């Protein structure tokens, strides 16, 4: 396997997971800043675990890499520069950037501010959330992994849209997101400077978040009604983790059993989904603190007394189920391996 963008936070998680994967060999990881330096210079947590050195991505993209699959953890706008030549080589690809997530080329100027230079490739990349489209992912050689907020939202909403008895208003899906600092990557900025970031509950994107596009695109597959999602994203005082609080509006009163039934019917046997709604203890609902370091998505809900609203709560680690873990799960499926290989470790607690 190879990792483009290996020096970033997502690249580091991919490398960490690949190093303990029983069937994977990490052949290269790219970085221009750390070119010819040991991987542990960028990821000191991997000290003693690999002697691999970073290579420059331009040299990898211009030759045929001797690997089964390449991950790209480059920023959007960068992935699209390097992946088209790799597609030509026939190597399998999982892209974690936004460059191949959207199907409509016109969405790129609107949401990402650039005209897509390879619109012909957009239909060839399958946006992978294995819990929802495993069969489709199994047959492809090009996949992309959704944004972390999109994964949390889509996992929480899709089963309820599929339910025949719940009449969810698909035109009014309201999502409040609380996101840890690693969600904005490893490059420092004034907004991520410790003195400015520590202790915040900062609404950094109360409207118009880019992940709206992929959420609406993917959720539209689960209903014939037009999907409209309204996202508000907040930076909170965590390094890892996302909590999505999703407000779904329903005309009639809903019984808890109907909601359970919808989730069970979608997720029974899906190893990385945990349905959470406890009567006792501190952690009665999903909490990012309980999924850190793991590929689990914890999903729970509560009903508005008197009806009208279902509040769905989804917690993931943005760097694992929200990025590297989902991508590795996708790789396993694309290569015909057990879906959970290399992803079985339990979350850390306390963190
Ligand atoms: N962070 C998350 O929670 C998360 C979740 C899901 C998806 N993603 C996506 O995953 C990708 C990587 O995210 P990240 O959080 O790992 O970001 P990051 O920490 O900033 O890492 C970016 C990586 O891309 C490389 N790179 C190459 N050209 C670059 C350029 N022009 N500007 C900046 N970096 C460049 C960087 O290494 P060198 O500069 O050394 O070459 C680095 O290895 C992004 O597309 C992001 O949207 C992130």
31 lines ligand 1 (CB under 6 A): yes
How many whole angstroms separate alpha carbon 12 and alpha carbon 65?
Answer: 20
Q: List, for residues 122-151, the tens digit of each pLDDT value.
A: 999 999 999 999 999 998 999 999 999 999
- The set of catalytic residues is 148
- Ligand 1: which residue has its CA nearest to atom 31? 78
Domains of the chain, CATH where assigned? 2-124 (3.40.50.720), 149-316 (3.30.360.10)
Q: What is the pLDDT of residue 243?
A: 98
- Ligand 1: which residue has its CA nearest to atom 22? 8
323 lines ligand 1 (CB under 6 A): yes
How many whole angstroms separate alpha carbon 106 and alpha carbon 111?
Answer: 9
Atom number of ligand 1 nearest to Cα 34: 40
Residue 81 tokens read as 């520069």
Q: What is the pLDDT of residue 62?
A: 62
How many whole angstroms separate alpha carbon 153 and alpha carbon 247?
Answer: 11
Q: What is the pLDDT of residue 233?
A: 98
Q: What is the pLDDT of residue 277?
A: 84
Q: What is the pLDDT of residue 61?
A: 62
The closest of 258, 245, 264 to 167, measured between CA atoms, is 258
Contacts for 334 with CB less than 8 Å, ≥ 6 apart: 69, 92, 94, 137, 138, 140, 141, 143
Question: What's the gap in Å between 10 CA and the centre of ligand 1?
Answer: 7
Contact 150, 218 (CB under 8 A): yes
How many whole angstroms separate alpha carbon 218 and alpha carbon 261?
Answer: 22
Low-confidence residues in the chain, pLDDT < 50: none
Atom number of ligand 1 nearest to Cα 11: 16
Residue 157 tokens read as 């909403």
Region for residue 306 given its phi and psi (left: phi exceeds 0; alpha: psi -120 to 50; beta: otherwise): left
Q: List, for residues 210-243, the tens digit of each pLDDT value.
A: 999 999 999 999 999 999 999 999 999 999 999 9
Query: Which mutation among 75, 184, 235, 288 tests ligand 1's pocket best, with the greatest number of atoms within 8 A of CB?
Result: 75
78 lines ligand 1 (CB under 6 A): yes
Q: List, for residues 26-59, the tens digit of each pLDDT value.
A: 999 999 999 999 999 999 999 999 999 999 987 7
77 lines ligand 1 (CB under 6 A): no
Residue 207 tokens read as 């409207």
185 lines ligand 1 (CB under 6 A): yes
pTM, two decimals, is 0.97
């Amino acid at each position: 396997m190879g990792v483009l963008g290996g020096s970033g936070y997502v690249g580091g998680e991919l490398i960490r997971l690949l190093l303990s994967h029983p069937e994977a060999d990490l052949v290269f990881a790219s970085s221009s800043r750390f070119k010819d330096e040991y991987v542990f210079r960028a990821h000191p947590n991997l000290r003693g675990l690999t002697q691999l050195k970073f290579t420059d991505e331009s040299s990898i993209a211009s030759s045929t890499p001797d690997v089964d699959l390449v991950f790209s953890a480059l920023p959007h706008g960068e992935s699209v520069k390097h992946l088209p030549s790799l597609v030509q080589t026939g190597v399998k690809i999982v892209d974690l950037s936004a460059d191949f997530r959207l199907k409509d080329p016109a969405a790129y100027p609107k949401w990402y501010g650039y005209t897509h230079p390879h619109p012909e490739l957009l239909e060839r990349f399958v946006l992978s959330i294995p819990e929802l489209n495993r069969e489709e992912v199994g047959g492809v050689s090009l996949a992309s992994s959704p944004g972390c907020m999109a994964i949390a939202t889509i996992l929480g909403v899709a089963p309820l849209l599929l339910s025949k008895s719940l009449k969810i208003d698909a035109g009014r899906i309201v999502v409040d997101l609380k996101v840890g600092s690693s969600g904005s990557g490893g490059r420092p900025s004034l907004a991520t400077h410790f003195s400015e970031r520590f202790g915040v509950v900062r609404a950094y994107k109360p409207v118009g978040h880019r992940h709206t596009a992929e959420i609406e695109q993917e959720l539209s597959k689960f209903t014939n009604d037009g999907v409209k999602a309204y996202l508000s994203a907040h930076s909170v005082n965590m390094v890892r983790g996302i909590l999505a609080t999703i407000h779904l509006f329903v005309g009639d009163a809903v019984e808890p059993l109907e909601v359970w039934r919808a989730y069970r019917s979608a997720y029974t046997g899906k190893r990385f989904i945990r349905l959470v709604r406890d009567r006792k203890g501190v952690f009665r609902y999903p909490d990012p603190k309980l999924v850190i370091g793991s590929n689990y998505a914890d999903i729970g809900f509560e009903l508005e007394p008197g009806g009208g609203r279902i509040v769905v709560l989804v917690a993931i680690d943005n760097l694992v189920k929200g990025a590297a873990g989902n991508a590795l799960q996708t790789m396993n499926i694309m290569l015909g391996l057990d879906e959970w290989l290399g992803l079985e470790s339990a979350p850390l607690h306390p963190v």
